[in-house]
Amino acid sequence: MQGAAPTRELRAGRRALEGIEGVELAEDWRWDEDHERWVLHLRLRPGIEGSERVPACTDWYVLADPSYPWGSVKFYPARDGGIERTFWHQSYNGPGPTGRAWRDGAPCLDTSVRVLGRHGFDDEPREAHARLRWHTLRALDWLRAADEERLVLPGDPYELPEFPRYEELDVLVAFSEGATSFDWWRECTGRSGTVSFYSLRESPELLVVKEFRSLAGRPILASDWGRCVRGASEVEFRGIWLRLDGPPVLLPWQAAATWGELRHACRSQGLELDNLMRPLLPGMRDGERHAALVGFPIPERFGDGPGRIHWQAMRLPALQGGRQVPDGFRPNEMGYRERDRRTVFAGTEPLRWLRSENWSEDQLATRGRLPEEVRGKSVLLVGAGALGSPLGEMLVRGGVHRLTVVDGQTLQAGNLVRHTLGLDRVGKLKADSTSQRLNLASPHASVVAINTRFPPDGEVDGAQARGCDVVLDCTAEDELLHELEVFEWGEPKHFVSLSLGMGARRLYCFSAEGLGFPYAAFRALIDPWLRQEAEEYEGSELPREGVGCWHPVFPARVDDVWLMAGVAVKYLEGALTSPSVEPRLAVYERHDDEEGNFAGVRRVDPGGWPGVEVGRPQVRAPHARRDHCRGTAPLPGCRRARDGRGTGGQVHRRARLRGGHAR
């Protein structure tokens, strides 16, 4: 676009700035070929007295996408005549590459910054004449707030300073810190020590904090990770940790970018960086590149007391021994330290900050998680089929991290249409493969596989099953329910049995508490529904997999099965948060409108309590009989269909129509 004129929309945006008090056009729109953006040079006078921190008049460069008024609109301080410090709600304000007219520190002008809402702009406009004006007015407000030191107010969410990173160091360091570990750190008197990391084979660019040690090498705090992190480590990576009283910043909110600035930030807290590092460096003097964690307490909100430790990682320079030391020093540790201080730790040497993230359970679950009454349970998932596999996935991703999967079958190619596993697991055990997948869903998950049909063989597997709080059956097999009834659990459990009706049009959810599964109560509640399904699908024929009458399969599309799996999670949440003394059954039905279009899922049972007659739902599924693929009773004379095994447990042995495992 070199030589092109600004678009009509860009010109409209610039004209809308005319007449705004404190805004002067220093240079009209020009195309910047290097950044592929349109650039506008403005001079802003926000009506303040001015100081060294925020001058009364500052120059800014506005960068806009060619698609303006769409795309990004960013303000950057000018290299000459712009603000030089870094404030809250601003990117690290470094000088940027030589020859560029603006610095790096773009202020945050988004609507989430409530201190900039003075003009009543709740939503960013998208009209060409309004959007640039909106950003400019907020830039003036931002300057006023920076001058008056009110960019952050008590109660605002806490934000870390932006630590400048070097793009060639694309390494992520993950740690786990919360309220419990913060209590421990508050009692800890040590300021420095060594730290070890897991280095994962699958993700060599990821380092996960394993254990903190004291200066004397004594273990002081180990991170509690799941099986994926603990079991997939290739090598143990070593480093050091330093603990400060606050973030390493230069006022007002600029992260230290050089070793000299880090020393200055430490001194402002009464600490000497070199003294903290001195006893640790001999152990790092092997020519390798180690990591360092700089930790400091942070609050949840500005104005609150600290509630957790944040660790900001950096890459240490490679340290060596050898004979080369400064004049007047011997080739010993003192000589090496002096050499390092003049070279790799010199004041002007940049810090190699790395990406750092807190992977504590509460931090990772901010997008949404199940309540503690569910997350805190250990769950025995019996059946890892089409219903059990997505159900297990939803539970683990919702925060249930102690899960045991019981299933003795292998994955078949026909299972792929409804299972969460893929082609690479065909022929492999479902329980083992599903547990491996679920352990990858969370760094805190500890999912165990029992590769056999319930009940498990051996003392170890039996103890694993007995140790679970919730028994979740997804097999829809009477024989399995009998085993759940007679198995010696040792203590009361919360039993939940989930099964699908034909075509996954209905979901049957049964729950009870006790020393064993109450099979008689279960049959009394579910039999009327199974008789109704038998009437609805009488005369239909099951679809087949392969050749021969002995290969009928349970018909249900993956979207219907997984839809009901989501409903099952909702039911389980209610059953565990509001447990019932008596066994109960809930029936959910997929509902279509009069035109046959999907209209949602609704509960259709009248309560399902013992002694209460279970009535039929008021609305029958439209077109149920003529939808041939939605299943049927097994064919007369088909031995494998009669005993329920030819369909992978989906057809119930008593009524031939109760689904669930949908393998």
Active site residues: 108, 549
The dihedrals phi and psi of 308, each to the nearest 5 degrees, come to: -160, 165
Six-digit token string for 353: 């900050």
| Neighbouring residues of 21: CB distance < 8 A, sequence distance ≥ 6 | 47
Give the separation between CA 554 and CA 648, rounded to whole angstroms: 8
Asked whether the bond before 617 is cis by omega within 30 degrees of 0, the reply is no
| Neighbouring residues of 22: CB distance < 8 A, sequence distance ≥ 6 | 44, 45, 46, 47, 140
Alpha carbon 19 to its chain centroid, in Å, reads 47
Render 208-234 in DSSP notation, one character per residue. Answer: EEEEEE-TTS-EEEE----HHHHHSEE
The dihedrals phi and psi of 425, each to the nearest 5 degrees, come to: -110, 5
Checking 78-84 for CB contacts under 8 A at 24+ apart, the result is: 78/41, 78/102, 78/103, 79/103, 81/43, 81/57, 82/58, 83/53, 83/54, 83/55, 83/58, 83/143, 83/146
Give the separation between CA 474 and CA 649, rounded to whole angstroms: 10
Interaxial angle between packed helices 8-15 and 128-147, expressed in degrees from 0 to 180 and rounded to the nearest 10: 40
Q: Which of 165, 168, 204 has its CA nearest to residue 354?
A: 165
The three state secondary structure string of 10-55 is: HHHHHHCCCCCCCEEEEEEEEEECCCCEEEEEEEECCCCCCCCCCC
Task: Measure the CA angle with vertex 410, ends 658 and 202; round to 5°.
Answer: 125
According to DSSP, residue 369 is labeled -
Give the separation between CA 192 and CA 293, rounded to whole angstroms: 10
Cross-strand partners of 11: none
Contact of 209 with 223, CB cutoff 8 Å:
yes
Six-digit token string for 53: 């921190």
Per DSSP, helices labelled H in 416-518 are: 430-439, 459-466, 478-486
- Positive or negative, the CA dihedral 182, 187, 193, 194 is negative
The dihedrals phi and psi of 146, each to the nearest 5 degrees, come to: -65, -40
Contact of 622 with 463, CB cutoff 8 Å:
no
Q: Which of 381, 374, 363 has its CA nearest to residue 570?
A: 374
Give the separation between CA 532 and CA 521, rounded to whole angstroms: 18
Helix or strand or coil: residue 551? coil
- State the maximum Cα–Cα separation within the chain, in Å, rounded to a whole number: 100
Give the separation between CA 188 and CA 577, rounded to whole angstroms: 37
Name the pairing type of β-strands 291-298 and 233-243. Answer: parallel
